[in-house]
C-alpha cells in the first residue's frame, strides 16, 4: 500500500493544514463543464516544507473532500489547475524523490482526473 510505503499516514494534520494555508490543493468551484476544480497555487508553496508524503496526503484529502459531494462529481472527475504564475526558485525542487512520490501517490488514489490545466 502506497500510504504505508511512503509514510503518507504518518503526516500530521497540522502539517496538512499548513500546506493548505500555502495554497496547495485548494478547492475552487467548478470549471466551465461543471467539474469540481482543485487549484494548486505553486508560487505560494515552499517546497522545503512540502515533503513528498505531505504533498501526496494533502492531494488525496483534497480529492476526497471534493468528490464526496456527489456521485456526479465522481463520474465526471476533477479539473486540476496548476497555477504557475509567479513561481520562483523557492517553489522548485530537483530532488528525484519528490517526482517519484508524486507519480506513485497520484496513481495510488482511486479518483478520476478529467482535465489538468
Q: Please tell me the pTM assigned to this model.
A: 0.76
φ and ψ at 13, to 5 degrees? Answer: -60, -35
Q: What does the domain layout of the chain look like in residue ranges?
A: 2-116
φ and ψ at 82, to 5 degrees? Answer: -100, 105
pLDDT above 70 for 109: no
pLDDT, tens digit (0-9, with 9 covering 90-100), for 30-59: 889 888 888 888 888 877 778 888 888 888
CA-CA distance, 38 to 82, in Å (whole number)? 9
Reported for 97-103, long-range contacts at CB under 8 A and 24+ positions apart, including other chains, are 97/52, 98/47, 98/52, 98/55, 100/52, 101/6, 101/52, 101/53, 101/55, 101/56, 102/52, 102/55, 102/56
**Domain 2-116 part of CATH 3.40.525.10:** yes
CA-CA distance, 15 to 54, in Å (whole number)? 7
CA-CA distance, 57 to 2, in Å (whole number)? 11
Q: What was the pLDDT predicted at 84?
A: 83
99 vs 17: which has the higher pLDDT: 17
14 close to 49: Cβ distance less than 8 angstroms: no
For 58, the grid coordinates are 494533502
Amino acid at each position: 500500500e502506497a500510504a504505508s510505503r511512503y509514510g503518507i499516514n504518518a503526516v500530521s494534520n497540522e502539517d496538512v493544514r499548513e500546506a493548505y494555508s500555502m495554497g496547495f490543493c485548494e478547492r475552487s468551484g467548478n470549471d466551465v463543464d461543471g467539474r469540481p476544480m482543485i487549484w494548486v497555487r505553486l508560487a505560494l508553496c515552499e517546497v522545503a516544507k512540502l515533503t513528498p508524503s505531505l504533498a501526496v496526503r494533502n492531494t488525496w484529502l483534497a480529492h476526497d473532500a471534493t468528490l464526496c459531494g456527489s456521485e456526479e462529481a465522481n463520474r465526471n472527475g476533477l479539473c486540476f489547475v496548476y497555477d504557475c504564475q509567479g513561481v520562483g526558485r523557492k517553489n522548485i525542487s530537483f530532488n528525484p524523490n519528490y517526482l517519484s512520490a508524486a507519480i506513485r501517490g497520484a496513481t495510488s488514489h482511486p479518483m478520476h482526473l478529467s482535465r489538468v490545466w
